[in-house]
Amino acid sequence: MAKTSLSRSVVQKPERVRVGLGKRSYDIILNPGGLDRLGEYLLDLGFSGKVGIVTNPILQGLYGRRVERSLKKAGFQRHTISVPDGEQAKNLRWISHILDELLAQRFERQSVLVALGGGVIGDMTGFAASIYQRGIPFVQVATTLVAQVDSSVGGKTGVNHPLGKNMIGAFYQPALVLLDTQTLRTLPKREWTAGLAEVVKYGMIADPKFFGFLESRIEDIINMDDTSLHHMVKRCCEIKASVVAKDERESGLRRILNYGHTIGHALESLGQYKQYIHGEAVGIGMVQEADLANSLGLCAEKVVARQRDLVRRAGLPTNLPPLNFGDLWGAMLHDKKVARGRIHCVLPKAVGKVTVDPLDQKAVKTWFRQVEKHQA
């Protein structure tokens, strides 16, 4: 389990971050303890009638009763739909199961789905909501750090295919995102630490001040100091909301959110999704992509050093595992960010500033040889 707070526990006021997308705009509500107010929040949005709670047995055991109680108090009819825990269930078979349940329970266009869980549950629920009767509203109640700072915001939904991760899906925005940071206290430590990679990412791609905040508060954050945690999650949501509002469908700016993911995804796939969990691979990916940027003359050595140091202090790995260049390059080519055969990689120019550039295989190979020597 993650370490619980050793410092004073401060009750944070509920706050909202708006994701501005015209008619599809929505609020992210940050409210420690807010799980108990879910019913009220749904009433505020004008919902009534049936609510389907999509979750897994772990989340159901931890938080299912509180969510149910809150919805009951607000007068909703509830139906829980459980899928197995883990990435293996993120597939069309379990989407089909969710749809079967919705049909059997006569869910209508006005009914609502609630995703109670991490990124897996959120991505699946959003996708099921996007296709059931051509689209019903859904709400993200995000319970992992990855989900609170990244996956619950922005409307990327979907499932995996045997031939590729996240290959089937839709852009479909939630009606609301509810973040109760208290739920992070029950997260397994490895999952919590992995989420910090996405947090560090926001500092590097968009906000040097936030990067500095993380450098000065990383120990407090690891110890789950309420004030630091609240500020951290809120700032990540603000940055993600602003990027998504400018480029919902990833035709330009949104690609910066993939910093660390070109090498990160390659490492995940080379390790057959067993060696690293996503955030761990992204931690290595960010350090290595910063190092690559330095080798390409895009950023100073100091930027790489700060990147490496913060990732290390967050408790994440920073070095490449033993591998050969051909395998790494091959895996990097097998990615959604490849356009017309060219790998487009997010590379830092400074802390808080990145560029997205096509990679030249020869230059990357030269960099890789230096890393091999250095890590030997």
Q: Which residues are catalytic?
A: 134, 156, 198, 240, 250, 254, 258, 261, 265, 278
Q: Per-residue x/- mask for ligand NAD, residues 37 to 56, rule CB under 6 A?
A: -------------------x
Please compute, for residue 22, the number of CA atoms within 13 A of its CA located in the half-sphere on the CB side: 4
Measured CA to CA, the distance from residue 124 to residue 86 in angstroms comes to: 11
H or E segment to which residue 268 belongs: helix 261-270
Instruction: Say how far apart CA 319 and CA 287 lie, in whole Å.
Output: 8
CA distance 23 to 308: 41
Residue 28 interacts with ligand GLY (CB under 6 A): yes or no? no
Q: Is 120 a binder of ligand GLY (CB under 6 A)?
A: no
Strands 138-142 and 112-117: parallel
H/E stretch holding 363 = helix 361-375
- Of the candidate spans 47-55, 124-132, 148-156, 305-313, the one that interacts with ligand GLY by CB under 6 A turns out to be 148-156
Select from 82, 166, 223, 227 the one that contacts ligand NAD (CB under 6 A): 166
**What is the torsional sign of CA 205, 208, 209, 211?**
positive
- Taking CB under 6 A as the criterion, the residue among 32, 34, 154, 285 binding ligand GLY is 154
20 vs 330, beta carbon nearer ligand GLY:
20
Question: What residues numbered 49-88 form the site for ligand NAD, per CB under 6 A?
Answer: 56, 58-59, 62, 85-87
Q: If binding is defined by CB under 6 A, does position 207 make contact with ligand GLY?
A: no
Report the alpha-carbon distance of residue 148 to residue 28 in Å, rounded: 10
Return the number of the residue (120 or 267) whose C-beta is nearest ligand NAD: 120
User: Which one, 276 or 368, has the nearer CB to ligand NAD?
Assistant: 276
Binding residues: 85-90, 119-123, 143-144, 156, 165, 183-186, 198, 261, 278
- Residue numbers 98-157 binding ligand NAD by CB under 6 A: 117-121, 123, 143-144, 146-147, 150-151, 154, 156
HSE-up (13 A, CA, CB side) for residue 215: 15
Residue 309 in contact with ligand NAD, rule: CB under 6 A: no
For the chain, what is the largest distance between any 2 Cα atoms, rounded to a whole number of angstroms?
Answer: 64
- The answer to whether residue 344 forms part of the interface with ligand GLY (CB under 6 A) is no
**Which residues are registered as beta bridge partners of 169?**
158
Interacting stretch for ligand GLY, rule CB under 6 A, among 35-43, 250-258, 309-317, 332-340? 250-258
Helix, strand, coil percentages for the chain (3-state, nearest 5): 55, 20, 30
Residue nearest to ligand GLY (CB): 257
The binder of ligand GLY chosen from 194, 257, 266, 359 (CB under 6 A): 257
Quick note: the x/- pattern for ligand NAD over 245-284, rule CB under 6 A, is ---------------------------------x------
Residue bearing tokens 């595992």: 321
Cα–Cα distance for residue pair 338/341, rounded to 1 Å: 6
Cα 360 to Cα 198: distance, rounded to the nearest angstrom = 26
What does 348 bind: ligand NAD, ligand GLY, none (CB cut-off 5 to 8 Å by kind)? none
